[in-house]
């Protein structure tokens, strides 16, 4: 089983660096979710991420950087991309940008695309990347397609027998993955809603973001675009107004649902209707709702503005038909 080490332990970064330099993936906390990090320039290390997650290799990875200079070593920034990075980095925004010929992010991390998804995380993860000196590819630290982890315990339950080291930074502050935006000249495409609301990005850009709807069979341009993703074992019903006997209920805003007196478990993403609180609770609640024996999860409507766009995106993928 994986060793779990608090990030405040003096040995945390040295042990993580030793593992990363051996090409081994390490579970690392970020402000969004826990990531399974490995050297983005080393194909053997990247392959170990795919193997641990059981992840399709056509699904690209985000390369995490410690500063803008590191990012510019590998990808090309337009003036618009520079403006977005200045406004939101470090933070929960991933930019999909053209690869430089001189860059060293391996094609296995980009799924062979001519672009790379890059992000500068906050806090400990950024410190670890700076100490390592190269970008770290770091998808969510869970089996592919399953609910993303927001605590070290979640990682251990899902990948504890597949990796060697989990760094424990407590509960993730944001609780959903980063927003992914493709920057193409003076055009922005929202590939995945996430921890930064699209409206905030539009304010900085000065024009609307184009929405990109994932379709079955479409080439995957960025992480989180698979139609079925973030999926618990139990079936998920969305926008319910009435609960079936024995279902687990995930509701929002403290509003009771008809028939919930017959529910097996009731969870409220945010009794006060706070979308930030709801986003932070989403994956943890999906895991609780997916306890052994749960047959169906009934999810009440969640508003679609602000972080509600990311919440509804994750819920729709969790409820999508499974392959």
* DSSP of 257-271: -BTGGG-SEEEES-T
Dihedral through CA 39, CA 40, CA 41, CA 43, nearest 10? 80
Spatial separation of the C-alpha atoms in residues 116 and 73, rounded to whole Å: 12
pLDDT, one tens digit per residue, over 131-181 is 999 999 999 999 987 889 999 999 999 999 999 999 999 999 999 999 999
Q: How far apart are the first and last CA of the chain?
A: 30
pLDDT, one tens digit per residue, over 267-317 is 999 999 999 899 889 988 988 888 766 789 999 999 999 989 989 988 988
Task: Give the per-residue pLDDT at 323.
Answer: 57
Report the chain's C-alpha Rg in angstroms.
Answer: 19
Spatial separation of the C-alpha atoms in residues 118 and 253, rounded to whole Å: 34
Q: Where are the alpha helices (DSSP H) in 175-274?
A: 198-205
Whether cis (ω within 30° of 0) applies to the bond prior to 90 is: yes
Task: Give the per-residue pLDDT at 230.
Answer: 60
The two beta strands, 93-98 and 210-211, are unpaired
Spatial separation of the C-alpha atoms in residues 76 and 156, rounded to whole Å: 37
CA distances from 128 to 24, 140, 206, 274 (A): 15, 17, 34, 32
- Interhelix angle 275-289/308-319, nearest 10 degrees: 20
Please name the helix (run of DSSP H) or strand (run of DSSP E) that holds residue 6, with its range, or none.
strand 3-6
Contact indicator for 36, 139 with CB cutoff of 8 Å: yes
Contact indicator for 131, 17 with CB cutoff of 8 Å: yes
- Summary mean pLDDT of the chain: 91
- Per-residue pLDDT at 226 exceeds 60: no
Q: Which residues contact 196 (CB under 8 A, 6 or more apart)?
A: 88, 91, 92, 93, 178, 179
Give the domain ranges of the chain: 3-211, 235-319
Which of 50-54, 261-265, 292-296 shows the lowest mean pLDDT across its residues?
292-296
Q: Quick one: average pLDDT of 210-239?
A: 69
Task: Give the per-residue pLDDT at 144.
Answer: 83
Identify the architecture of domain 3-211 in CATH: Alpha-Beta Complex (3.90)
In this prediction, what percent of the chain has a pLDDT beyond 90? 76
User: DSSP label at 33?
Assistant: S
Q: Which SS3 state, helix, strand or coil, does residue 168 take?
A: strand
Give the best-scoring range by mean pLDDT among 121-130, 204-213, 223-232, 295-304.
Answer: 121-130
The residues that bridge with 5 in the sheet, in sequence order, are 167
Whole-model pTM: value is 0.85
Spatial separation of the C-alpha atoms in residues 108 and 58, rounded to whole Å: 9
Short-list 297, 286, 296, 300, CA closest to 256: 300
Dihedral through CA 91, CA 254, CA 145, CA 148, nearest 10? 40
Q: Quick one: average pLDDT of 62-66?
A: 98
Task: Give the per-residue pLDDT at 225.
Answer: 58
- Per-residue pLDDT at 130 exceeds 70: yes
Task: Give the per-residue pLDDT at 228.
Answer: 56
Which of 198-202, 206-210, 306-310, 316-320 shows the lowest mean pLDDT across its residues?
316-320
Give the best-scoring range by mean pLDDT among 51-55, 224-228, 252-256.
Answer: 252-256
């Amino acid at each position: 089983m994986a060793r779990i080490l608090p990030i405040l332990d003096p040995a945390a970064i040295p042990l993580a660096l030793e593992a990363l330099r051996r090409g081994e993936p390490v579970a690392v906390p970020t402000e969004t979710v826990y990531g399974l990090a490995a050297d983005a320039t080393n194909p053997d290390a990247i392959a170990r991420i795919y193997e641990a997650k059981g992840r399709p290799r056509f699904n690209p990875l985000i390369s995490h950087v410690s500063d803008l200079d590191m990012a510019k070593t590998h990808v090309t920034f337009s003036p618009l991309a520079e403006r977005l990075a200045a406004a939101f980095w470090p933070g929960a925004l991933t930019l999909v940008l053209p690869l430089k010929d001189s860059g060293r992010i391996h094609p296995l991390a980009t799924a062979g695309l001519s672009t790379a998804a890059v992000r500068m995380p906050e806090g400990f993860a950024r410190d670890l990347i700076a100490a390592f000196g190269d970008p770290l590819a770091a998808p969510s630290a869970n089996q592919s397609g399953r609910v993303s982890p927001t605590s070290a315990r979640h990682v251990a339950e899902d990948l504890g027998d597949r990796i060697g080291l989990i760094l424990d930074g407590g509960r993730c502050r944001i609780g959903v993955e980063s927003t992914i935006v493709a920057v193409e000249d003076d055009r922005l495409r929202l590939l995945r809603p996430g921890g930064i609301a699209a409206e905030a990005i539009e304010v900085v850009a000065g024009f609307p973001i184009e929405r990109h709807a994932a379709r079955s069979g479409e080439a995957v341009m960025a992480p989180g675009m698979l139609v079925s993703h973030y999926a618990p074992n139990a079936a998920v019903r969305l926008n319910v107004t009435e609960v079936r006997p024995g279902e687990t209920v995930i509701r929002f805003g403290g509003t009771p649902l008809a028939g919930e007196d017959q529910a097996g478990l009731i969870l409220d993403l945010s009794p006060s209707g706070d979308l930030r609180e709801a986003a932070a609770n989403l994956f943890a609640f999906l895991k609780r709702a997916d306890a052994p024996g749960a047959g169906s999860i009934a999810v009440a409507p969640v508003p679609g503005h602000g972080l509600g766009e990311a919440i509804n995106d994750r819920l729709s993928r969790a409820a999508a038909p499974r392959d």
